[in-house]
Amino acid sequence: MPTADECREALEKLTARLSELDAQDRAAFFSGRSFTCRVPDLGVVFAARFGSEGAGTVREADPGEPPADVRLTADSDAVIDLAGNPAGLPRAWLAGRVKIQASMRYLLRLRKLL
């Protein structure tokens, strides 16, 4: 089973893909948005903030932090898999390995990361 540090590093790799997007798209669609990833098998929640330059540092969320704009729930193995193959997100979601809570608008925007 992957560790919390390995999952954090995997999420940093995944969110770093924002910096590859066109600067105007990144600023228009992602700037000021928040993201969390709950990893139930490790009992940890990671959080990051998206800005005009890309994603901020992935960190452990503080207790009582308000709900993020995009909330992902996945076991540690699924987090590692997603970082290695972001295009596998739809299949992982359909198989129930990953849960995503976000508005439809944000979900459509997230497709740009895949």
As its CATH architecture, domain 4-113 has: 2-Layer Sandwich (3.30)
User: Which helix (H) or strand (E) element contains residue 104?
Assistant: helix 104-110
Q: How would you write the pLDDT of the chain (114 residues) with one tens digit per residue? A: 899 999 999 999 988 877 777 777 777 777 788 999 999 999 999 999 988 777 889 999 998 899 999 899 999 999 999 989 888 888 898 899 999 998 887 777 666 555
For 68, what's the count of Cα atoms within 13 Å in the CB-facing half-sphere? 23
Residue 26: per-residue pLDDT: 73
Residue 4: per-residue pLDDT: 97
Q: Hey, where are the domains in the chain?
A: 4-113
Locate the DSSP E strands across the chain.
34-39, 44-51, 54-55, 59-60, 70-74, 98-101
pTM of the model: 0.86
